[in-house]
Structure 1
């Protein structure tokens, strides 16, 4: 993965004068297009004071998982653990919410503002075992930049 070029392009999105929602959508679109094994890219954010996540911008197939309770599935577990969660093979996860038979792996990285977990970026892949430390580094970078514009 060519991290420098991806980060450089992402910075043009972050520095653009578009709305936060448009920036988030552009990030989803770009990552889904640019990284061949990113088949679904989306943001979930804490839904007000409720203990649930609400889907925001995304790129990929539609999902019925618009609301995810804390603790449920990979996203819900990250909302509770406050840690990155890399699942190289979703079939080996007990607490997994299936987004479709094509999904083989998932990576979720939380977004923090002032130490509070406010949301996350979620990537599904139709490839088993694709994610590396570089993916985590890239998505942590994205989450730090997103936190700065929220």
Structure 2
């Protein structure tokens, strides 16, 4: 138990450092694409056992592929469809242990087994989502969810 707690505290410190790095990279930039590109790159370098990290942006009542790290992805996701569309519809983080068990999952990469999607809301308007996939089932836990939400919160200051 102590070892697990120490591991969790180390991960929290790592996430806090990651958020500081996001601030440092974003504070003097005003281009959204540049900010999102660096934000996805930071996460891709920081997180282990992930195969896709990126953003979908809300345009014309659907999510459209934005800056990302990973294999080519689905370009458009309708409102309420798949994990990303559900995160927007519910305005709530979706942490999915097994994407194949998620009703209506959109399979962009057959290797993906689990996923976490954090909605990005600016001034009560949908901006998009942060989407992270893993080839490992049940890859994301409560610590990931809490700190990825904090990461998005920090990111929102610059968008």
* Alpha-carbon offset, residue 32 of structure 1: 1.4
CA contact (8 A) 1:10 1:27 kept: no
Distance 2:22 2:118 in 1: 19
Q: 2:49 corresponds to which residue?
A: 37
CA-to-aligned-CA distance 1:85-138 (integer Å, 9 cap, x gap): 111001111210001211101110111212333211000000001111111111
Aligned residues: 147
- Residue of 50, 60, 74 corresponding to 2:70: 60
Secondary structure in 2 aligned to 1:149?
coil
Do residues 123 (structure 1) and 109 (structure 2) align? no
Partner of 1:102: 111
Q: List per-residue Cα deviations over 1:40-92 (Å, max 9, x = no partner).
A: 10111110xx21011111011111x1111101111111111111111100111
CA separation in 2, counterparts of 1:28 and 1:3?
Answer: 19
RMSD: 1.6
Question: Does structure 1 residue 22 correspond to structure 2 residue 34?
Answer: yes
- In structure 1, runs of 5+ residues without a counterpart are none
TM-score by length of 1: 0.89
| TM-score normalised according to structure 2 size | 0.84
Q: Secondary structure at the match of 2:63?
A: strand
Structure 1 distance, partners of 2:81, 2:18, is: 33
More helix by share: 2
Aligned partner of residue 141 in structure 1, secondary structure: helix
1:77-116 mapped onto 2 (5 Å cutoff): 77-116=86-125
Unaligned runs of 5+ residues in structure 2 are 1-7
* Consecutive aligned runs of 4 or more in structure 1 exceeding 4 Å deviation: none
Whose radius of gyration is greater, 1 or 2?
A: 2
